[in-house]
Amino acid sequence: MQRLEKKHPRAVRWFHWINVPLLSLMAWSGLLIYWSNDVYRLGWGDKTLFKFFPDGFYDALGLGHRLAEGMAWHFFVMWFFALNGIAYVTYTFLSGEWRHLVPNRHSFREAWHVVLHDLHLRKEPLPPGKFNGAQRFAYTGVVLMGAGSLATGLAIYKPVQLAPLTALLGGYEWARFEHFWLTVGYVLFFLVHITQVARAGWNNLRAMITGYEIVTAGEPSHE
């Protein structure tokens, strides 16, 4: 026997899907800006393992010589990105949804279990509940990264008026460095996220679209 069970509130689904184009636009316009002074790399001393970014990357995506356009877009979309994120965080707190999202005292153990399970080192089924420990860390972490992007972004945007914030983040150049690496972090998050969504299957992804999941009797509920 099966039944439909409400999983994701409508507001959360809207915030989530609206964030997709907004974060993409922020990363794209950020790259248009970054191209003008693309100094970051993986490496040490004279040894560079990977330069952010190879010329072919800019050429393929047409990112070069568009600094003014990048700034205009970045300072346009930033409001919508920030407001959507603030609305999401406000909603999760007021609705109590945060209880499913913020790591609790079981989360470390659970997250370790999930990692071993996904690496096929442990056979026991994944922990029950709406979000397991690994998801709690990931989804809370990415929201903190969003707050970090806003803070580092503001520190670069108004380094005189917000001089204490900029100093707290290590100064203007460090804030730019942090702002960049947070974006690399979103890309890594995205890769893991879509891999896990693909592994979890259609019923799980569909719940993020419709709000409902089909649950077979006898399976643990989300609540």
Residues that bind other proteins (CB under 8 A): 1-6, 17, 21, 33-34, 36-37, 39, 67-69, 71-73, 75-76, 79, 157-161, 163, 166-167, 172-173, 176, 206, 209-212, 214, 217, 221
Residue 212 host element (H or E): strand 212-216
Residue 50 CB, shortest distance to other proteins, in Å, is 19
Residue 217: CB minimum distance to other proteins, A: 6
| Amino acid at site 105 | R
Q: Which is nearer to other proteins, 4 or 116 (CB)?
A: 4
Chain centroid to CA 18: 13
Q: Measured between alpha carbons, how far is 135 from 102 in angstroms, rounded to an integer?
A: 9
Of 38 and 110, nearer to other proteins (C-beta) is 38
- Min separation Cβ 167 and other proteins, Å: 7
Q: What's the CA gap between 43 and 111, in Å, rounded?
A: 30
What minimum distance in Å lies between the beta carbon of 16 and other proteins?
11
Report yes or no: 75 and 86 within 8 Å, Cβ to Cβ: no
Element (H, E) at 187: helix 172-200
Nearer to other proteins, 72 or 115 (CB): 72
